[in-house]
Chain A
Amino acid sequence: MSVKKKLKTSAMIASIAAEGQPTTAAPFGHALVEAAQGNERIVGMTADLGKYTDLHVFAQQFPDRYYQMGMAEQLLMSAGAGMAREGFVPFVTTYSVFASRRAYDFICMAIAEERLNVKIVSALPGLTTGYGPSHQATEDIAIFRGMPNLTIIDPCDALDIEQATPAIADFDGPVYMRLLRGKVPRVLDRFDDYQFEIGKAKRLMSGGDALIIASGLMTMRAIEAADELAKQGVKVSVLHCPTIKPLDNATIIEEVRRHAGKPVFVAENHTVVGGLGEAVAGVLIREQVMANFHQIGLPDEFLDAGALPTLHDRYGISTREVVRKVEGVLAA
């Protein structure tokens, strides 16, 4: 992470992949095509962001099952609800900011209240664009966690997306999935027995010195940080928690108990308010499990525009900063 070439600012299409990291192009689009080949009820709908949510891959394969709804997110969600009412499984795509901020009431009342089978897949979750607050969905999980009936998925990498897409297609009920799009890193392939399951947290690495519970791209950072720390002899466990709601309380409690007396970090690509960190804290307090608890996440602020590597360092979610945070707590 020390390599700093000329960094482009405001990178709307910036990849979160590090240089040389293996990637897969548009894993969601290809996974959806595969799922749709076996399920004629799947349709794709977007609000003028088909190309930017990898739904264009589906559109090319199934032009007659693709609905361009225009730049109208309230309509997108309502029409998705209507499609689901008629028995279809619409995958509706936009950016996370627009799904959560602009279309909330329509997701809540037209989709979630009636438990309709709409799959909301949204790009640019958390801090994955340098465009500034208009496009940085730093609070989308906080917004959606309070919505009854809604399942929230935050996949880590291309493999996770490839497995989560058919899983949510088969799942009966509304789902919000945060999407990594474009050239998406592959990091979970090395864990041979990993399999995405809705509602399940999975232990990826085992170590006795600290536990990192993470979701989304922060699981990738946690793995990279654990690799770095291992070189110094610090052994860190990583629990990947791609389903934010319903949370896998049992596994979280079990893992925290296994690390009794050791620091527990919850790492998320999201504000520290109302996301995975506070969700985990709530579980632990309700179950009276005491933990040496720390959050790694974005500050409760509107964030700067700029280049992603710069911003990830600045706001503490780069691998370097995760390593530094764990070291600091262990040294204290």
Chain B
Amino acid sequence: MEASSVGVEQNDIEQLRQHAYRIRRNALLMGEVQGQGYVGQALGVSDVLAVAYFRHLNFKPSDPEWEGRDRFLLSIGHYAIALYAALVEAGIVDEQEIDNYGSDDSILPMSGMAAYTPGMEITGGSLGHGLGIGVGMALGLKRKQSASRIYNLLSDGELNEGATWEAAASAAHWKLDNLVAIVDVNDQQADDKSSTVLNYEPIADKWQAFGWETWRVDGNNLEALVEAFDAAVNSTSDKPRVVICNTLMGCGVPFLEERDKTHFIRVDENEWSLALQQLDEVYGVTGQEQKA
């Protein structure tokens, strides 16, 4: 990846790149445990999570409910595998839990739920809930005069839900400058391509019209993500902020990038090790470096 031209230290980008690598690796390891999982989405959104968690979020790994933390809300419960991968990388979830992913009594169930997992702020899965909860939490933080922020990761499919737009209107109405929405646009939802199921464009115009400060970036380009997130977080406007991230499902594993895209991307039993191997190749990682 090329050096940034916007004043971001190359060193920072390299560190984020390493975080993104390990998030991807954690997700693949979890997928391998169950032989399935939403790894296509997880690989796609790993760079976004790396920038969110390791450049902007305030958190204490030993105290996931620390009052001063920033709150990261995962509306899209099926992306839990991606967030677990980031929570492991952040030290909030123990790495050994990867082996229990999706199993009975695991703290890492297939769909993200607040009661199960440290660092999982809300129960997602019924889409269209997260941004509204985020509005209430952002109002609550303001009542407490807290400097913490709310981040809410949504998907393009979730923009089908009317409740998302109720919340979008409300966030602007209340001038929730402590709320950052992140929309993962991978153009894939349950039945088909999102643009075929219910065309979401022009997304940026819609958020802008709803009164949000809006950025749209390549969600697999760390420099672009850093630039957009820095601008969104540091903006002095009184508007809520949204970073719309175009991502590639399977990103970082070439044979999955090229595979026919579906909501639940197929990975055969013998392909997990290949996926991990290709990921290492893409990042130039040798076997001994993996645990770094």
Contacts and interface: CB of A to CB of B under 8 A. Distances in A.
Bind each other: yes
Contact of A82 (B128, B134, B162, B169): B134
Interface in A78-118: 78-88, 90, 105-106, 109-110, 113-114
A57 interface: no
A198 interface: no
A74 B139 CA distance: 16
Contact of A109 (B125, B137, B144, B173): B125
A43 interface: yes
Given A70-B173, A78-B163, A110 B133 contact: yes
Interface in A39-72: 43, 67, 69-70, 72
A7 interface: no
Nearest to B136: A82
B173 A83 contact: no
B141 interface: yes
Interface string A282-297: 0000000000000000
Nearest to A82: B136
A86 B123 contact: no
B137 A82 contact: yes
A175 B278 CA distance: 52
A114 B123 contact: yes
A79 B163 contact: no
A106 B113 CA distance: 15
B163 A109 contact: no
B interface: dominant SS: helix
Interface residues of B, number: 30
Contact of B136 (A72, A80, A113, A114): A80
A114 to B, nearest CB: 6
B129 interface: yes
Contacts, number: 92
Contacts of B122: 85, 110, 114
A86 B125 contact: no
A75 interface: yes
A79 B136 contact: yes
A75 B135 contact: yes
A interface: dominant SS: helix
Interface in B93-136: 113-115, 121-123, 125-126, 128-129, 131-136
Contact of B123 (A70, A84, A90, A113): A113
Interface string B140-179: 1101100000000000000000110011011001000000
A82 B115 contact: no
A77 B123 CA distance: 14
A75 B115 contact: no
A75 B115 CA distance: 22
A82 B113 CA distance: 15
B140 A109 contact: no
B129 A83 contact: no
B136 A81 contact: yes
B170 A83 contact: no
A324 to B, nearest CB: 46
B137 A86 contact: yes
Contact of A78 (B121, B136, B143, B162): B136
Most chain A CB neighbours (cut-off 10 Å) among B113, B125, B137? B137
Contacts of B180: none
Given A70-B173, A78-B133, A83 B115 contact: no
30 contacts: A43-B143, A69-B170, A70-B166, A70-B169, A72-B169, A74-B162, A78-B131, A78-B133, A78-B136, A79-B132, A79-B136, A79-B167, A80-B136, A82-B132, A83-B137, A83-B139, A84-B136, A85-B133, A86-B136, A86-B140, A86-B141, A87-B140, A88-B140, A109-B125, A109-B129, A110-B122, A110-B132, A110-B133, A113-B123, A114-B115
Complex A-B, nearest 4 residue pairs according to Cβ-Cβ distance, in ascending order: A82-B136, A78-B132, A86-B140, A79-B136
